[in-house]
Amino acid sequence: MAAASSGAARRGAAGLARAVRAFCGGRNSSGRAAAAAAAEEKGAVRAEQLAERLRARRREEKQREAPGAPAQRRVRELALLSSGLQRLHPNVLAKMLKQAAVYQDEEIVVINKPYGLPVHGGPGIKNCITDVLPILAKMLENMKAEPLHLCHRLDKETTGVMVLARSREAADRIRLLFKTRQVEKIYWAISVGEPEPSEGIVDIPIVEKEVVGHQPHYKRTLAPSYRLCPEDGKVVRIRRNRSAESAVTRYRLLGSSAACSLLELQPITGVKHQIRVHLAYGLGCPILGDHKYSHWSKLAPQKLPQITLKRLKLEQSKARYLPLHLHAHRLSLPLGQRLDLVCKPPPFFHKTLRSLELDFPKD
C-alpha cells in the first residue's frame, strides 16, 4: 500500500516537472521569436535607410553633373568608338568605308577616313584599313577587282582625305608625288592656346627619344639645328642629330576663342606626328585632345584651361576622352591636271567649334 502511494507521488512530480518545463520552454521560444522579429524589423529599417541615402546621393551627383552630362556623354561615346570599330566584321567595316567614299575615277578612290580607325595592323589591332582593301575594292567594282592600294598614311586619330589607288602602278606614281613633295596638303586643327606670331613656318627637325622616368616610353620631339649661346645670346649652329628627320610645317591662325585656336596647317614634309610635335613643342599650342604630346615627361590626360572646360561643358576628369581635333581637309594631286580633293570635318569637330564659338572657315 505504501509502495503504491510512493509510485503515484513520483509520477505526479514527474508530470508537474514536465508541465513546468513545457511552460518555461514555450515562454522562452516566444521570447526568442519576438526578439528575432524585432531584430529583423530593425534590420529592414536600417537597410531601407541606407538605400534611401544611396538614392539621395545619386540624385545629388546627377544634379551636379547635369549641365555637362550631354557633352560628357558624347565625348565618352566617341572614345568608345575606336574599340567598337575593332569589333566590327570586316564586311561591315568595308561597307562603312564605301559609304565614306567622296571621289572615284579609273585610277583612285578617295575616302573620308573616320576617327579611331588605324591604317595599318599591329599588336591588339583586329581591324584596319589595309586588311579590308580587298573587300572594299569588290564592293566598289566587282568580285574580280584588284585590291586597292594605300598611297599615304594618316594617324589612327586623324580624320579626313585618304587616297587609295586601284592599281599598283597608280599607287607607285602617287607615292612618288608625296615623296617628292608635289602634293599640297591642308589640315585643320583646333589647338589649346594661340600661336605667336599668328602665321609662319616651323622648320625644326624631329627625332624619336625615350622618356625616362616613372612611366618610361618613347616620343617624338624637336631636334633643333641652332641654339642660343648663354654667354652672349647669339644664335649658334649645333651638330645635327643623325637620327633626326627634316620637318617643315606652314601654319596660319584662322580664329581664336576660349583659350583655343583654329589653325590651317600645311606640312611641307611628311614626318610621322610632324604637325602634332611642331604645334606642341615648337609653338606651345598642342592640338585639342592630343594627350600624348601635351606633356613631355609623363603620360597623362591633357590639362585644359577653365574657360575651355566651361565652353565644352566638360570636367577635367573627363578630358581624357577628348578626341584628337586634327583633320586632313584637302589634298591637291597633280595627276595630269591638278585634282583638288576635299573632305568635311567629322560632326565632333563641328560641335567643338560651335561650343568654343569659333568661326568655321568658308572655302
Residue 348 has pLDDT above 80, yes or no: yes
Residue 76 placed within a domain? yes
Q: Would you state the pLDDT for residue 41? A: 60
Residue 20 has pLDDT above 60, yes or no: no
Residue 161 placed within a domain? yes
Q: Which residue range(s) make up the domain with 147?
A: 69-180
Q: Would you state the pLDDT for residue 270? A: 94
The CA-based dihedral angle spanning residues 129, 135, 141, 145, taken in that order and rounded to the nearest 10 degrees? 100
The Cα-based distances of 224 to 150, 204, 228, 268, 345 in angstroms read 32, 5, 11, 17, 33
| Residues 83, 156: Cα–Cα separation, whole Å | 12
Percent of the chain with pLDDT over 70: 80
Q: Would you state the pLDDT for residue 16? A: 44
Instruction: Work out the mean pLDDT of the chain and round it to a whole number.
Output: 85
The secondary structure element, H or E, covering residue 16 is helix 2-65
| Residues 177, 333: Cα–Cα separation, whole Å | 8
Residue 115 placed within a domain? yes
Number of domains composing the chain: 1
Residue 33 placed within a domain? no
Residue 359 placed within a domain? no
Residue 25 has pLDDT above 50, yes or no: no
Residue 151 has pLDDT above 50, yes or no: yes
Residue 134 has pLDDT above 70, yes or no: yes
The catalytic site residues sit at 155
CATH assignment at residue 112: 3.30.2350.10
Over residues 63-72, mean pLDDT: 55
Digit-coded pLDDT (tens) for 221-262: 999 988 888 888 888 888 888 899 999 999 999 999 999 999
Confidence of residue 63 (pLDDT cuts 50, 70, 90): low
Residue 326 has pLDDT above 60, yes or no: yes
Confidence of residue 56 (pLDDT cuts 50, 70, 90): confident
Q: Would you state the pLDDT for residue 342? A: 96
Least confident of 53-57, 100-104, 151-155, 225-229: 53-57
355 touches 322 (CB < 8 A): no
The CA-based dihedral angle spanning residues 60, 64, 68, 69, taken in that order and rounded to the nearest 10 degrees? -10
Q: Which residue has the cell 557633352?
A: 71
Confidence of residue 65 (pLDDT cuts 50, 70, 90): very low
| Residues 61, 79: Cα–Cα separation, whole Å | 22
- Residue 280's CB: how many other CB atoms inside 10 A? 26
Residue 217 placed within a domain? no
Residue 138 placed within a domain? yes
Q: pTM for this one? A: 0.78
Residue 333 placed within a domain? no
